[in-house]
Amino acid sequence: MRINLREGNVMLFYKIEATIDTAKALPVPTDRQEYRAFAGTLAEKSESYYQNQAQSYYLFAAASKEKSITFGAIFKEAADVRKAFLAYLKRLGYAALDCKIEEITFHAARTLLQTADRGYFIEDEDEVLSFFEIECLGNHYGHVDYSEALLAEPESRETLLHTAKCLLAEESLSPEIERIYAGRPARRVQGHPVHYLLRCDGRETCKSIYKVLLAALYANGRIQSRRYCLVTFDDESSTPDETYEALYKSCESGAVIIRYEANAGPGGSHARPGGDVIAALCDVAVKYRNRVLTILCLPAECSNIKEAFLENLGCTSLIELYEDVVYEKEAVLYLHRLAGQHKIRADKRLDAAVENTGKGFRAVDLNRIFDEWYDRKLRTAVYPQYREAQTVKANLQKAKPKGSAIEELNRMIGLKEAKNVITKALNYSKVQKLYKDKGILMDRPAMHMVFTGNPGTAKTTVARLFAEIMKDNGLLSKGDLYEVGRSELVGKYVGWTAQIVKQKFQAAQGSVLFIDEAYSLVDDKAGLYGDEAINTIVQEMENHRDDMVVIFAGYPDKMEQFLNRNPGLRSRIAFHVPFEDYSAGELADIAELIAQSKGLHFADAARQRLRTVLEEARTLPDFGNGRYVRNLVEAAKMEQAVRLAGMEYDAVNASTLSTLLEENIPLPPKRKTPPVRRIGF
């Protein structure tokens, strides 16, 4: 391995296995008391040697056997590692017959420090890390979501170019490999002329691409450490703290890979990703830009995320890398190459997945196609005894909607349109999963709705059940119902309304925001506070389309006028759900259900009268539908109570207590006749 480092700041960790020449020095003692004294002496000499070397590197013993000692080393300035170690060993009074030096990760180095601490070879592991200003990284390993790895030994330029081609990244990666091999910088110059932005969806493909890039950089001295760290952030991550900067410091002369996984959906165009998180990430990357190479890994379609990073990277230069898009011939060759790697013969079924489609494919798409084909091949050809076995996804696709809310909705009377829409929404979710499984990336369309109907047609009840159903079936994260009207949305003063609306949307994230009588938000005059509310609602509906549903509810005619006045709002409504007035038969069935819930039932004559009363009541202006029926049952209970109170005690039994009779059903209110206006006296 290469251990002669260029001048400049570095942070490198080593494990050194040394075979001691016992002819020139005493062997390692085995007696406990002698061993502890031996370890203490080595600890003092290690500390002294660190101070004498201008604190540029720290070497320490970690464990020992009779004829060998395991050492650890941390370098923060360039040096000849072997030469430095042999000089240190001589200072300890030992000579080495042989020594094996290997670069290790920070975690491995910290493990060596812990071993040395327990073996009395150092006084305190945290104190050693504080010499290099990375003690918080040692105290909070895992607090920042990161992992470490070491590059394999360098490969030739030709091998790396061939790998780039096989990864379907030839168009952007191969020219960059050629630039890297074009020439070396002056010996005393330290810094990175460019950093990298890699747009790729498949994690494994992304990993393979940046490993090829790092291998080329390492082979040409652009990075001096084989160690690199992968840091993962998303929109829910907390803002990076000092641990994140310590991680960068620990990677001096190496690389940090930042994988940002935003939740804004394909294209990242629906919501601005976590600005504070991205700004903090970029601040540290810019600060260490000449000492640590940064590779940003973003989704393939990521306009907003990419823009957010570019705004915060200042004068940093970025080379953009991406997957190639290949068509039929190249796609087939790629699939056949995968089949060869799995030692299985490709067939026409595999080829048919990409032939004559007219589509372009990236590596992530072809890998998904191959995986699905290979799984099927294992079940049908390699292990034919499992031919009839179905995949978990196939079983899920056939599964019925789950949860108690869907059962409650199905038990409700009428509501055919509402039930159809919810079925469509659930089916759409299944289709989206199919698209994802087949490698087709699509924006999730908004699920916002308009409920139109007269009072008492169960709009609020259905909205509540809809929220629960969406939660039960994985379409919403919380599934609560937030019901608001004009008074909860419109502020008293100019500028208040927009803030109030945003707060309501934030509170309803992951749930359903139910805006009742939405048309009351706008007055007859334009430009008042209600218009401010509508404009903000339109904006927030777009920003929160991925994990939230807004339902506007009200009278059909007024809602139509409301939407006509706000064309931007209409275009964001996915479903229009009419809640028709109940028929007399449906109302009678609702009355039966309400009575049953109260432990009552209607006598046969009462049922006949109930239907007659409901037929007449439906013609009344401002008829309340289900609300009227509920009031009617309550009134029947009151009439029953009056009847029972007048009966002899012994005449009252369980049957009379639970039966509503014909005379208990009140007649509908009489239609008022408007007075005739006469002219004259």
Tens of pLDDT, residue by residue over 85-111, are 998 888 888 888 899 999 999 999 999
635: domain CATH number? Answer: 1.10.8.60
Q: Is pLDDT at 677 greater than 60 in this prediction?
A: no
Residues 304 and 171 in one domain: yes
| 3-class secondary-structure state, position 387 | coil
Percent of the chain with pLDDT over 70: 86
Question: Is 372 contained in some domain?
Answer: yes
Give me the pLDDT at residue 350, please.
93
677 part of a folded domain: no
Question: Which of 71-85, 173-187, 427-441, 663-677 has maximum average pLDDT?
Answer: 71-85
Could you tell me if residue 159 is inside a domain? Answer: yes
Is 207 found in the same domain as 118? Answer: no
Tokens coding 8: 């400049």
Say which range, 262-266, 383-387, 450-454, 636-640, has the weakest mean pLDDT.
262-266
For the segment 454-469, the average pLDDT, to the nearest whole number, is 88
Q: What is the pTM of this model?
A: 0.61
Angle between helices 626-645 and 584-597 (to 10 degrees): 50
Residue 296: what pLDDT? Answer: 95
Mean pLDDT of 170-188: 83
Domain co-membership, 44 together with 75:
yes
Domain region containing 54: 9-132
Q: With beta carbons less than 8 A apart as the criterion, state whether 274 and 235 touch.
A: yes
pLDDT digits (tens, 9 = 90+) for 322-372: 999 999 999 999 999 999 999 999 999 999 999 988 888 989 889 989 998
Q: What is the pLDDT of residue 441?
A: 54
Position 433 pLDDT exceeds 80: no
**pLDDT surpassing 50 at residue 3:** no
Identify the pLDDT of residue 131: 85
Q: Is 142 part of any domain? A: no
In a domain, 128, yes or no: yes
Q: Kindly give, in sequence order, each residue whose CB lies less than 8 Å from that of residue 232, ignoring residues fewer than 6 positions away.
A: 145, 146, 259, 261
What residues pair up with 553 in beta bridges, in sequence order? 451, 516
pLDDT tens per residue, range 230-288: 998 876 677 677 888 889 999 999 999 999 876 544 334 444 455 678 888 899 999 99
Q: Which helix (H) or strand (E) holds 37?
A: helix 32-52
For the record, the structure tokens of 490 come out as 């419109």
Name 4's bridge partners: 80
Residue 189 confidence (pLDDT) above 60 = no
- In the chain, the number of structural domains is 5
| Spatial separation of the C-alpha atoms in residues 522 and 515, rounded to whole Å | 13
At residue 330, the pLDDT reads: 93
- Specify the pLDDT at position 151: 95
- Range of weakest confidence among 43-57, 453-467, 538-552: 43-57
Residue 486 has pLDDT above 90, yes or no: no
Q: What is the bridge-based pairing of β-strands 255-261 and 293-298?
A: parallel
Q: What is the mean pLDDT of residues 13-25?
A: 86
- Which tokens is 244 given? 């994140």
674 part of a folded domain: no
If asked whether residues 454 and 550 sit together in one domain, one would say yes
Name, in order, each residue with C-beta under 8 angstroms of 497's C-beta and a sequence gap of 6 or more: 489, 490, 491, 529, 532, 533, 536
Distance CA 349, CA 354 (A): 10
pLDDT in tens, 534-564: 888 888 888 887 778 999 998 888 888 888 7
- Distance separating the N- and C-terminal Cα atoms of the chain: 118
Domain boundary among 557, 579, 601: 579
What is the predicted pLDDT for the residue at 266? 36
Q: Are residues 469 and 376 in the same domain?
A: no
Q: What is the pLDDT of residue 584?
A: 86
Q: Would you call 190 helix, strand, or coil by DSSP?
A: coil
In the listed set 516, 550, 579, which residue is the last one of a domain according to the structure?
Answer: 579
Residue 34 clears pLDDT 80, i.e. is over it? yes
Q: Please give the sequence-ordered ranges of beta strands (E in DSSP) within 391-526, or none if there are none.
A: 449-453, 481-484, 512-516
Buried b (16+ CB within 10 A) or exposed e, 200-234: bbbeebbbbbbbbbbbbbbbbebbbbbbbbbbbbe
pLDDT band at 444 (very low <50, low <70, confident <90, very high): low
Between 562 and 149, the higher pLDDT residue? 149
The structure tokens 């607090």 sit at: 143
In a shared domain, residues 87 and 158: no
Per-residue b or e along 631-651, where b marks 16 or more CB atoms closer than 10 Å to that residue's CB: ebbeebeeebeeeeeeeeeee
Residue 625 CA to residue 618 CA, distance in Å, equals 8
Question: Helix (H, G, I), strand (E, B), or coil: what is residue 237?
Answer: coil
Backbone angles phi, psi at 100, to 5 degrees: -115, 120
Residue 185 has a pLDDT of 55
| 126 phi and psi angles, rounded to 5 deg | -65, -35
Same-domain status, 516 and 468: yes
Pair (197, 238) in one structural domain: yes
Contacts of 194 (CB under 8 A, 6+ apart): 317, 318, 319
CATH number of residue 178's parent domain: 3.40.50
Task: Indicate if 425 and 555 belong to the same structural domain.
Answer: yes
Question: What's the chain's average pLDDT?
Answer: 83
Quick check: 525 pLDDT over 60? no
**Residue where a domain terminates, one of 527, 552, 579:** 579
Q: Is 675 a domain residue?
A: no
Look up residue 402 and give its two tokens.
Answer: 């789950």
If DSSP codes are grouped into helix, strand and coil, which group holds residue 108? Answer: helix
Is residue 455 located within the same domain as residue 339? no
Are residue 284 and residue 189 in the same domain, yes or no? yes
| Residue 379: predicted pLDDT | 87
In whole angstroms, what is the distance from residue 96 CA to residue 74 CA? 20
Decide: residue 455, CB within 10 A, 0-12 exposed, 13-18 middle, 19+ buried.
middle
What's residue 294's pLDDT? Answer: 96
Asked, for residue 141, whether it belongs to a domain, the answer is: no
Same domain, 558 and 530: yes
Q: Which one has a higher pLDDT value, 178 or 618? A: 178
- 53 pLDDT higher than 60: yes
Range with the poorest average pLDDT among 5-9, 109-113, 136-140: 5-9
Comparing 421 with 429, the larger pLDDT belongs to 421
pLDDT at site 351: 93
